[in-house]
Amino acid sequence: MTVPPETMGDGLITYAREGDVALIGLNRPDKRNALSDRFILALGQAVARATSEARAAVLHGHGAHFCAGLDLAEHSEKPLFEAIKGSRLWHRTFATIELGEIPVISAITGAAVGGGFELAASTHIRVAEHSAFFALPEGQRGIFVGGGGSVRIARLIGPARMGDMMLTGRSVGAAEMERWGGVSYVVPDGEALTRATEIAARVAQNAPFTNYAVLNALPRIAGMSSDDGLFTEAMVASLATMTDEAKQRLRDFLDKRAAKVQAPPRADG
């Protein structure tokens, strides 16, 4: 079932659905999709809707860029406590993506800068076009990351590389960011949204409990001691096999009704 596009949050977000995949679009192209608190609230509403009616989601930007980060015009006028509350709003909203119920794939075009990179880091799979670029210019702006980047981006690419980006303000291309671990797939220009949607449709076919466990158990296990992590893994693995869907899928595999894992295509064709 296809649900035609509509807007949310006074037009800041577009929302559509293709089967089990929700398509969430950042819709402020004249500002390179710079994020304000009002924008973040609308994004949270779209994520909540996707969670209630889809099994995976794609996050993308309208226009040439994914997201240029924080709307500095709004941020520069905030009193101290309001700035803290704004940062915590971003934290809560991005957490509903990272530790949510459905996988979210980001389709990255153009700039993923500052808060835009932080938003992408909260998604589970990042698909970037060849010309996409990443930057953390906070050092040159006299500010600091406030959307969870010090945790999520640092875990993806390491604190040393993140520190380099913040101190120097340099941009990093998609291919290098893939080598660093910040990008999952690099695709030709013009193909990020299509590829991200294909991946989302594929992961939407997984058992919902397994997807939920991947999203919520893996990050927590990563922060545990080895012994605690292995114990938690045993509990989650056992719970997963107890679901009716897992039992049916295992029967299908044993009865040769399910496809086997195939080797990837050779790079030389």
When divided into structural domains, the chain yields a total of: 2
Q: Are residues 109 and 181 in the same domain?
A: yes
Q: What does the pLDDT look like over 45-88, one tens digit per residue?
A: 999 999 999 999 999 999 999 999 988 877 667 888 998 999 99
Residues whose CB falls within 8 Å of the CB of residue 149, separated by 6 or more in sequence, listed in order: 115, 117, 118, 121, 136, 162
Q: Are residues 131 and 214 in the same domain?
A: no
Q: Are residues 85 and 215 in the same domain?
A: no
Question: Is-contact 129 192, C-beta < 8 A?
Answer: yes
Q: Are residues 191 and 248 in the same domain?
A: no
Q: Are residues 91 and 118 in the same domain?
A: yes
Q: Are residues 32 and 132 in the same domain?
A: yes
Name the residue range of residue 70's domain.
6-205
DSSP letter at 261 equals P
User: What percentage of the chain exceeds 90 in pLDDT?
Assistant: 80
Q: Are residues 240 and 158 in the same domain?
A: no
Q: Are residues 128 and 192 in the same domain?
A: yes
- 267 lies in some domain: no
Q: Are residues 213 and 193 in the same domain?
A: no
Q: Are residues 39 and 167 in the same domain?
A: yes
> Taking the model in full, what pTM does it have?
0.92
- 230 lies in some domain: yes
What mean pLDDT, rounded, does the chain reach? 92
pLDDT value at position 268? 58
Q: What does the pLDDT look like over 79-124, one tens digit per residue?
A: 889 989 999 999 999 999 999 999 999 999 999 999 999 999 999 9
Q: Are residues 122 and 227 in the same domain?
A: no
pLDDT at residue 269 is higher than 50:
no
- 260 lies in some domain: no
Q: Are residues 107 and 218 in the same domain?
A: no
Number of Cβ within 10 Å of residue 217's Cβ equals 18
Q: What does the pLDDT look like over 116-155, one tens digit per residue?
A: 999 999 999 999 999 999 999 988 888 899 999 999 999 9
Tokens of 219: 């990050």
Strand partners, 42: none
Question: Is-contact 201 145, C-beta < 8 A?
Answer: no
Distance between first and last Cα of the chain: 35
Residues whose CB falls within 8 Å of the CB of residue 100, separated by 6 or more in sequence, listed in order: 47, 51, 215
Q: Annotated catalytic sites, by residue?
A: 118, 138
Q: Tokens 């807007």, residue?
A: 7
